[in-house]
Copies of this chain bind each other. A is one copy, B any other.
Amino acid sequence: MITNPQEAWKQTLEKHIRSRGLRLTRQRLLITETFFRRGGHTTVDDLYQELLKTQPGIGYATVYRTLKLLVECGIAESLQFGEDSTRYEPASEHHDHLICTGCGTIIEFENETIENLQEEIAKMFGFTLTHHNMELYGRCSDPKCTKKS
């Protein structure tokens, strides 16, 4: 049976919540739904602002706590780019990021050769890798970004 991808997170979330004696609240559903609807690289504040539209009373802390929960479930991942605040994205196949410092565009990519080289490097130093970050910063081909500042 093929799971509806838009609902897949709901099953994982519910399973995780049940197994821990936690509760599936209105807010948790709403936040998670909104998070997945928005898609990648969301700031907590982005998400909070959008949530305010449908749920005026919602608290900043609840958004933080729910995102932390999603990360624990393994259905979201936190990202730390050069800037100040943490971003979150739906968990998926591993990938890295290519970021335009002009317009903020974020492109996801994967490269198996690099991954293999990383493993090789780790082995060379006697490390066992658990995870990694790689962000490439540059200017995209948009004229506004290409021109010198």
Interface residues of A, Cβ cutoff 8 Å to B: 80, 82, 98, 100-101, 107, 109, 111, 113-114, 117-118, 121-122, 125-141, 146
Whether the Cβ atoms of A134 and B132 lie closer than 8 Å is yes
Q: Smallest distance from the beta carbon of A132 to chain B beta carbons, Å? A: 5
Q: How many copies, total? A: 2
Taking the closest CB of chain B, its distance from the CB of A83, in whole angstroms, is 9
Asked if B125 and A140 make an inter-chain contact with CB atoms under 8 angstroms apart, the answer reads yes
Q: Which single member of B109, B117, B126, B146 contacts A128 (CB below 8 Å)? A: B146
Q: Do the beta carbons of B136 and A121 come within 8 Å of each other?
A: yes
Cβ 8 A contact of A114, one of B117, B141, B146: B117
The answer to whether A122 touches B146 (Cβ under 8 A) is no
Q: How far apart are the CA atoms of A98 and B123 in the complex, in Å?
A: 11
